[in-house]
Structure 1
């Protein structure tokens, strides 16, 4: 009777371990971080509510490619605003990247722009250089924010709050 008793509980134990393992595995698979799908236009609207970017000029694909060497095939949508004069550093770029694996490459391109702009302003326009130095470049899932502005903190907070 003890042998039969041991075999019965051994089977129950194995089944319990299997059920537990399957539940752990399925929980691990389902706990992936949920990515919010928000349009870039909605992010821009939130930023406009927090900061005045009316002095900036909205730009198109050609300007994005010229300034950042970012091909429109790499991104799902974008918003680019720059100062209307080359004497101002103010800039706002929001990208929704198609594939998160492209983020490092695109960030490198943005960093190259930052370096070029900083070099341009460093000796000639110290106030604009200061703005460049306190820029924000950050990612949130497949979104990228690059901002140069006196209101950079407000812009960053708006970006963060809408993508929470």
Structure 2
């Protein structure tokens, strides 16, 4: 199973890199999550965050690997911080509702964990962005959540 997930992750990264090299980006259906993430990273720094892999994606959001076409995931470098960014492209747009529900469970868990312990981090969770557009799901917890949402919206046009 680990070998399969490793191969799947390597394929997803390779596809993202190849798609990132293309000079002409078309409609949102043709975009990869890596391309959207790259656009966001041009506006917002991920410097204090660590990149997550498929295993981390599944651990945080309980999303079946077979339903994910491509994704980027960045999480806080410490478990007492709330910052998180996920751009997930599902294979079938009908799966976005299930992904949203799973992410909402993560939001609830983080809310319970940080509400009394880290009020400033709890505030970030309360101001999160969780939205879909076609095959894409955006989940962002950040001080710069408005900029992230704006870049995502612009990329989806």
The two structures share one fold, judged by TM-score above 0.5 = yes
Cα distance in 1 between the residues matched to 2:45 and 2:60? 23
Which segments of structure 1 move beyond 2 Å, counting only runs of 4 or more? none
Alpha-carbon displacement from aligned partner over 1:8-37 (angstroms, at most 9, x marks no partner): xxxxxxxxxxxxxxxxxxxxxxxxxx7531
Provide the aligned length of Structure 1 versus Structure 2.
131
Q: Report the Cα distance in structure 1 between the residues aligned to 2:148 and 2:83, rounded to whole angstroms.
A: 12
**Cα separation, partners in 2 of 1:35 and 1:155, compared to 1, 3 Å:** closer
Gaps of 5+ in 2: 1-26
Matches within 5 A, 1:97-116: 97-116=90-109
> 5 Å matches for 1:9-158?
36-158=29-151
Counterpart position of 1:17: none
Q: Distance in 1 between matches of 2:37 and 2:92?
A: 21
- Is this contact kept in 1: 2:29–2:135, CA < 8 A? no
Measure the CA separation in 2 of the matches of 1:155 and 1:112.
21
Structure 1 residues not aligned, in runs of 5+: 1-33
Secondary structure of the equivalent of 2:42? helix
CA drift of 1:72 comes to 1.1
Distance 1:44 1:35 in 2: 13
Contact kept, 8 Å, 2:28 with 2:155, in 1: the verdict is: no
Could you tell me the TM-score, scaled by structure 2's length?
0.81
Tell which deviates more after alignment, 40-49 or 126-135: 40-49
CA distance in 1, matches of 2:33, 2:54: 14
TM-score (norm. length: structure 1)? 0.77
Q: Please identify the structure whose Cα radius of gyration is greater.
A: 1
CA distance in 1, matches of 2:29, 2:59: 30
Whether contact under 8 Å (2:72, 2:88) holds in the other structure is yes
Once the two structures are superposed, residues 69-89 of structure 1 have per-residue CA deviations (whole angstroms, 9 ceiling, x without a partner) of 111111101111001100110
Choose between structure 1 and 2: higher helix proportion: 1
RMSD: 1.0
